[in-house]
A = this chain, B = another copy of it.
Amino acid sequence: MPGLLFDMDGVLYEGERPVAGAAGVIRWCRDQTIPHLFLTNTTSRPRQALARKLERMGIHIDAGQILTPPVAALRWLRQHARGPVALFVPEATRGEFAECEIAADDYPGPVAAVVVGDLGEGWDFATLNRAFRLLMDPAEPPLVALGMTRYWRAEDGLRLDTGPFVRALEYACGREAVVLGKPAAEFFHAGVENSAAGLPSTTASRPHAYSRARTKG
């Protein structure tokens, strides 16, 4: 087996409860020196926090083995975008893009890419319209989506996630987003490229409509 990509939420743990047998499987992979990576759509928690969470469950991995949409997006931007990047992501996620030239809020464009994550309460008409206007530049900068999660379950009820705002912008500008998050192929490809030994043949993932038990960072 050339390698394995593991989903995390629902595969290794459910909320704060480890999935039975998960720790053993990961240990076996390491013992057999099978290259493996962990994929998650979580954008609100740094990778170190996720690694510590696994640690508490007896699963010992390096934070660098976790592929999140921002990490995959950064890889994608390195290859495809030259110039300032407009970020529409929560504060906790901005740090992942530290090596990029970030366009200021009043930057008129053109930008090299428009990156959209779970901005939550940060979305208002002016902000979404600003993303739209940047996308309508004749240079047609790519729209990069940090996942397409529809919504998540907060303590006070359901909350819109990244996907709906990406769909709004796709419809408005008439172009499709590059989606870097499950279940987009591009995200799994990034995992394959990140994986130490090249091509893994299998992924362990369960489809779900929204990220359960998500914790704000």
Taking Cβ atoms with an 8 Å cutoff, the residues of A that contact B are 119-126, 128-129, 132-133, 136, 150-151, 157-160, 163-165, 167-172, 174, 209
- State the Cβ distance, A151 to closest chain B Cβ, in Å: 6
Q: How far does the alpha carbon of A152 sit from the alpha carbon of B168 in the complex, in Å?
A: 15
Q: Are A157 and B171 in contact (CB under 8 A)?
A: no
Q: How far does the alpha carbon of A174 sit from the alpha carbon of B149 in the complex, in Å?
A: 12
Sort A-B residue pairs by CB-CB distance and give the 7 closest, nearest first. A164-B168, A168-B168, A167-B171, A124-B124, A164-B172, A123-B125, A167-B167
A126 / chain B contacts, CB cutoff of 8 Å: 121
Q: Are B160 and A168 in contact (CB under 8 A)?
A: yes
Q: Are B125 and A125 in contact (CB under 8 A)?
A: no
- State the Cβ distance, A159 to closest chain B Cβ, in Å: 6
